[in-house]
Amino acid sequence: MIRVATYTRVSTLEQAEEGYSINEQQDKLEKYCELKDWTITQRYSDPGFSGSNIKRPGISELVAAAKQGDFDLVLVYKLDRLSRSQKDTLYLIEDVFQANQVEFVSLSENFDTSTPFGKAMIGILSVFAQLEREQIKERMTMGKIGRAKSGKAMGWSKTPFGYNLVDDVYEVDDFQATVVKRIFSDYLSGESPAIIAKNLNGEGHLGKGKPWSWKTVKDVLMNVIYTGYISFKGELYPGMHKPIIDMETYKKTQTQIEIRRVNADNPRPFRAKYMLSGLLKCHYCGATLRIAVSVNQRTKARSYRYNCPSSHPRKASTYKTKAVCPFKLVYKDEMEKRVIAEIEKLPKNFKQKQEPGVDLDAIKKQIKLIKTKQSKLMDLYLVDGIDMEELNRRNGEFNKQIKGLEQELSATPTKLDVSEMLNRAKNISELTYDEQKKLVKLLINEIEVSNDSIKIHWRF
């Protein structure tokens, strides 16, 4: 005996316009079972429910019973009674019915999963289900872009610290906004995210209901939302909310984040004890010069000097040669004076040193243009019917172009906004030692030192 579960569904609109009443559907299913000598053991129904999704009480009961093995076959009058979504239909047939040894039959289409034709139809259905998924994904993306363009809050993301969500718009929380401003100010003054978090926690300031960490501080520093803009997929859209910081401060912060990232292998720029720590490289072997301290036994006075670790016979490095490096020691104070003198000359010589850089905006526009072409290509496939082979070929060319441009973009060094630092460089001798140290780290990437000269590699 084949145990059958029937399922019927109708929306109010369908019943009015097409006459798909629950009773009419059930009557046809009953007669078909009599003809096949099948026994109906369960009857499930969803009157007044749309078939656009499977969040329906009747379907939920049907799925639960299938998993318990209460019947051998599910019978519907028409395929769209089960669902109007190919994606959901495939899920029910493959992941619910067949996964629990339950066959499926649709009367009108003569669709029977126990037959070779029915099994082939599942494969066809899966192709259209995948297409439906892609179309849903595209519609969701377009909806999110539309939301971003409206300037309203992005409903799927958490409300950022510093704002409250009121009627789909971020409103500034005055107290939290002062904390946000302080985070940016402290970071640009040289503090690390970890120190900023420690200070905030020590003063009793909480983030979103929990203590600050270096990561939550970093999230604030990198969130463009504080400039009054909404970001989605790399594009910025004017928001309806008020900014907490200006765009110039945000850009300076991103520059600092990049500088510190690049220097991750060197002593932390703003925490190194000495001005030139991590910057001095040996001209002869490439080793990083190290600070050494000697004490006068008579006066107990200390003197500081930089030397090359490869210059000692027992510590000879293998950077470029196994031979002992010929580098001679250089005193710390003397080297710092030479570097400061070079920095003081920088504002006057900057125009000669500046080289034309890569137009980053132009590269980004090219990438955006190619992605637009990709979108139009998909429209041609869906509407005008270009074949899959041509679609894949042209899409592959576009992806190759985008990859090349993105590699060029990532390989382009960050161009620093140095105007403010150049102004400070004029008066570097008047700054405190800590202020000089910070400015040196911002301006200089590396200093190549030989026994009779130095060569400074600037960051721009």
Return the pLDDT at 182: 92
Q: Region 4-23: what's the mean pLDDT?
A: 75
What is the crossing angle of helices 174-188 and 214-222, to 10°? 90
Give 80-130 pLDDT, tens digit per residue.
Answer: 888 877 778 888 988 999 999 999 998 887 888 888 877 777 767 656 656
Whether 87 and 205 map to the same domain: the answer is: no
Q: What CATH number is associated with residue 247?
A: 3.90.1750.20
Q: What is the pLDDT of residue 320?
A: 44
Q: Can you tell me the mean pLDDT for 402-430? A: 68
Note whether residue 311 is domain-resident.
yes
Residues 334-354 have pLDDT tens digits of 999 999 999 988 877 765 444
CA angle 355, 360, 362 (to 5 degrees): 115
Using CA atoms, how far residue 43 sits from 15, 39, 80, 239, in Å, is 19, 11, 17, 52
311 and 454 in a single domain? The answer is yes
Looking at residue 414, its pLDDT comes to 46
| 158 within a domain of the structure (yes/no) | no
- The residues carrying an active-site annotation are 11
Model confidence at 299, pLDDT cuts 50, 70, 90, reads confident
How many residues does the structure list for the chain?
460
Q: Which CATH number fits the domain that encloses residue 58?
A: 3.40.50.1390
Q: Are residues 248 and 296 in the same domain?
A: no
Q: Domain of 70?
A: 3-137
Residues 133 and 194 in one domain: no
Rounded to whole angstroms, the Cα distance separating 182 from 65 reads: 59
For residues 292 and 229, state if they share a domain: no
Kindly state whether residues 371 and 335 are assigned to the same domain.
no
342 plus 393 within the same structural domain? no
Output helix, strand, coil percentages for the chain, rounded to the nearest 5: 55, 15, 30
* Beta strand 290-295 pairing with 302-307: antiparallel
Q: Within this chain, do residues 255 and 178 fall inside the same structural domain, yes or no?
A: yes
103, 8: one domain = yes
| 239-268 pLDDT, tens digit each | 878 899 998 899 888 888 887 776 554 444
Number of separate domains in the chain: 4
**Lowest pLDDT segment from 23-37, 65-79, 106-120, 180-194:** 106-120
- pLDDT band at residue 14 under the 50/70/90 scheme: low
Element spanning 57, H or E: helix 57-68
> Looking at the predicted structure, is the pLDDT value of residue 405 above 90?
no
Q: Is residue 148 part of a domain?
A: no
Note whether 216 and 292 are same-domain residues.
no
Nearest to 456 by CA among 440, 436, 435: 440
